Amino acid sequence: MEEANATSISEFLLLGLSEDPEQQYLLFIFFLTMYLLTGLGNLLIITAIATDSRLHTPMYFFLANLAFVDICFTSTTVPKMLANHVTGSRAIPYAGCLTQMFFFIWLAGTDSFLLTAMAYDRYAAICHPLQYLASVTPRLCSLLVVASWMAALGNALTHTLLLTRLSFCTHNRVPHFFCDLSPLLKLACSDTFLNNVMVYTVGALPIITPFVGILGSYTRIFAAVLKIPSAGGKRKAFSTCGSHLSVVSLFYGTLIGVYFSPTSSHTAQKDTAAAVMYTVVTPMLNPFIYSLRNSDMKGALGALVGWRPALRQ
């Protein structure tokens, strides 16, 4: 009977990043600006790739899919946070909270697998250039994208369904700006042992496995680049790889720090700051890091907005 009474919570309260009214106003402007930049930047990338036939290659196919996922990923959390600032209400229904968490886990996992596919594409292009067109076919690229979505979907469903079996007592204040798995598990008043086991096993697959795959790919890439006789060629390759790995390190470093570090080291402030990095900052930076330093993408974006001189660079 006690357990039946413990599941009466119908909504959660998202405490956000600050309770100071002045800070809330600044945070609203800050996150609204980043959200608009994320959407605009990634939409430009998708449009440029779709309209320029020179960019219909595996590398840009993966990049367009990554840009689409980044738009969806940011849209899962930021609009609700902005709406909370406007309305002054921090409530989110129980079903809405689980839905937000489901899409967050699904899109984060898809992002992770797509980053791995991009690393494999670069590995095949740099380490096996003669076999590249024969090995990285449009069919393989499509299968890798579909597999990324489906593998991440299975992980998200697992955690969401397991969360529905938990009981929540009178504590419904989530010290976060969105419904994340870790703070929700801390609010549960029933046994979360199975949930935590799944976080460190099944939940690790969309993060640890791709991360190891990316490191393996880039280890081989660096070894191949070192054999390039041209200093300019080495510099260009290392610059591209360095930019990619900086975003990979930012994305995976914060995810691993939040979900796979000892719970005793967690604080609400640290987890929230890390979440801002991989949910908002990284998707905003991706168009700049992956595309705007690329001469082909600069030309395509220049043609898209009518800036013809960019095509000659």
Determine the average pLDDT of the residues in 212-235. 83
pLDDT score of 243: 66
Q: Kind of pairing, strands 173-174 and 11-14?
A: parallel
User: Region 217-236: what's the mean pLDDT?
Assistant: 81
Distance CA 264, CA 256 (A): 15
- Angle, helices 138-164/193-200, rounded to nearest 10 degrees: 160
C-alpha to C-alpha distance for 162 and 232, rounded to whole angstroms: 53
pTM greater than 0.75: yes
| Residue 259: pLDDT band with limits 50, 70, 90 | low
Q: Are residues 214 and 120 in contact, defined by beta-carbon separation less than 8 angstroms?
A: no
Q: What percent of the chain has pLDDT above 90?
A: 39
Strands 11-14 and 91-93, how do they pair? Answer: antiparallel
- The answer to which of 40-44, 179-183, 286-290 has the lowest mean pLDDT is 286-290
Contacts of 279 (CB under 8 A, 6+ apart): 73, 74, 77, 78, 104, 178
The percent of residues above 70 in pLDDT, for the chain, comes to: 86
pLDDT tens for residues 112-158? 999 999 999 989 988 888 899 899 999 999 999 999 999 999 999 99
Higher pLDDT residue, 4 or 105?
105
Give the Cα separation of 113 and 214 in Å (integer).
10
β-bridge partners, 188: 168
Choose the CATH number for 2-307 among 3.30.70.920, 1.20.1070.10, 3.40.640.10, 1.10.4080.10: 1.20.1070.10
The residue extents of the domains of the chain are: 2-307
